[in-house]
Amino acid sequence: MSQEANRRAAAPEIIAPVVEKPEAVKRKWRFRTDWLRDVFRMSGEKSEPRVGLVILGFSGLFLAILTRLVMLGAFPGDQVGLRRATSNAISAARPDILDRNGIQLATDIRTVSVFAEPRNILDKDEATELLTAVLPDLNAKELRDKLSTKKGFVWVKREITPRQQAEVHRLGIPGVGFVPENKRVYPNGNVAAHVLGFANVDNVGIAGIEKYIDSQGLQDLNGAGFAVQASDLKPVQLSIDMRVQHLLRDELVKGIEKYRAIAAAGAIMDVNTGEMIALVSLPDFDPGNPVDALEKDRINRMNVGVYEMGSTFKALTIAMALDSGKANINSSYSTAGGMMRFGRQVIKEYHGTGRTLTVPEVFLHSSNMGSIKMALSVGVEGHKAFLKKMMQLDRMTTELPESAAPIVPGRWGEINTATIAFGHGLAVAPLQALAAVGALVNGGYLITPTFLKRSEEEAKKNAIRVIKPETSEAMRYIMRINGEKGSARFANIPGYFVGGKTGTAEKVINGRYAKNKNFTTFTAIAPSDKPRYVFLAIYDEPKGYAESGGYSTAAWNAGKTTGKVIERAAPILGMAPRFEPPPSPFPLMAKLGAWGSR
């Protein structure tokens, strides 16, 4: 065999190329085009390829999404942290707060905050130096520590000014940006601080009506992203009249200075609706910058402080005796001797007359002995039951979250009834005492105070009758007599038919009554024949002055302030002066021939 023949015999057969016939190629391409045509053909018998392609496409899409979610969950990037922070900031919107006349008390404005992404900042020291130069109130060490973390998002400074934003922007630091936020502002400053409360830098309500709004579901709305800006929310309209609120605060500020008191408070309530028209507690704070809001002397003394209300409580004692039938308007009580003894305890009259007094005279002369005898005629259990019915033994709740429970004797005996009868031995929040006086003069209905605007019909739905209408007329009558002839005459502004009652209580210091430290109160109603409003002023440790002859009792401070408040507020509240007394203001009292009615 030749060499060429041997080489051909040894070569493998696969070296020879296999040439596909033209017919086979045509069949392969025809199959592929037929399959694609079947995918998009609408006939039922050709649907299997189309369904398979759709399933394959959606499976790929879902797999990609799932993979991305897993990656984000396991390795959250900078943008995730940024989105979370900005989402929380932008969604924290709050509704506007308005007074009863539509005056804006609180609103949101748009502002900007600076953030940083530490992982994207290459030179931490340079960034710190540049930022603190533009924002000098930043702590350089704290900022450097923040930028040294591996976090995807940190705050640099919240709520900056437009000028600061422009200066930071010009720095051009990679990894530093801006987040739009909502900032709470209070256009009237301190004027209604204890009613409004305040919101923190995250726009969360911390106290007052602001906290109440959150409790009504605002934070849930924010969390769900439904409240992005204030215009998305219905404004909250309060019962407060900002004009009256301002003048009440103004008079109390003047009073603190004149009477050298350490604190003061006051309120005005509509006796027929329970609406709080004004409420002030001093010292107060600026809700827009509440740096001192949590100091102990800035509490809301109207519903967080609890105090012995002094002789103003005698109104409750007399109403209890009259309503129970144990006394009538012509009953009389001996005050001979000027003192009463309970075991080792002796209770004296403050300004005793040493004679027998009728019920109106007991009130007019603020007789401790007469009040004690009325309370004892009702009895210890009856006394407790009446005060509980009048909302004086339990915490009173309103829209303001801050409130205090009364300090009630643990073991209530005859001596407790005796002292509580004239306003010692039971400490209550002034606001609940105000509500009780409102019930005494509005016909006998106890209405829980509210800081939201409402009608008389709405108020009466939940009102509770606590005394008879006849008792209510008697209380209006004796308060008016005290306004004409007694300690309330300093508030007897001509034309407004004012009635009222003073109260002076010695403060309890280290468990003992301090003779030289008083807590003074004054409660007034106007007009007495058909009251519309009840007024309250209190001073903590007022001092005597030349005009008062050195006295620091309530008539000389709280009484005078209340008179000035009535004089300024009555025209604003629509109370026209009447310079002729009403023809028959107390018909039942005249019919019964009550003391002083002639």
Q: In 3-state terms, what secondary structure has residue 519? A: strand
Say how far apart CA 370 and CA 356 lie, in whole Å.
9
Say how far apart CA 286 and CA 190 lie, in whole Å.
5
What value, to the nearest 5°, has the Cα angle with vertex 478 and ends 314 and 418?
20
Say how far apart CA 23 and CA 585 lie, in whole Å.
121
Q: Is 377 a catalytic residue?
A: no
386, 391, 394, 396 alpha-carbon torsion, rounded to 10°: 180
Say how far apart CA 499 and CA 489 lie, in whole Å.
8
Q: Which helix (H) or strand (E) holds 433?
A: helix 430-441
Please state at what angle helix 314-324 crosses helix 368-378, rounded to 10 degrees: 40
Nearest to 302 by CA among 393, 434, 184, 168: 434
Chain-centroid distance of CA 289 in Å reads 17
The single residue listed with the structure tokens 């003073």 is 502
Instruction: Provide the 8-state DSSP code for 489.
Output: G
Say how far apart CA 95 and CA 226 lie, in whole Å.
12
Catalytic residue, from 239, 311, 371, 472: name it: 311
Contact (CB, 8 A) for 451 and 209:
yes
Say how far apart CA 2 and CA 422 lie, in whole Å.
145
Tokens found for residue 581: 């007394």
Q: 413, exposed or middle or buried, with CB in 10 Å at 0-12, 13-18, 19+?
A: exposed
CA dist 567 → 278, 458, 526 (Å): 15, 29, 11
Q: What are phi and psi of 59, to 5 degrees?
A: -60, -40
Does residue 283 have a cis bond before it (omega within 30 degrees)? yes
Instruction: Provide the 8-state DSSP code for 216.
Output: I
Q: 38, exposed or middle or buried, with CB in 10 Å at 0-12, 13-18, 19+?
A: middle
The CA radius of gyration of the chain, in Å to the nearest whole number, is: 39
Instruction: Provide the 8-state DSSP code for 218.
Output: I
Active-site residues, by number, are 311
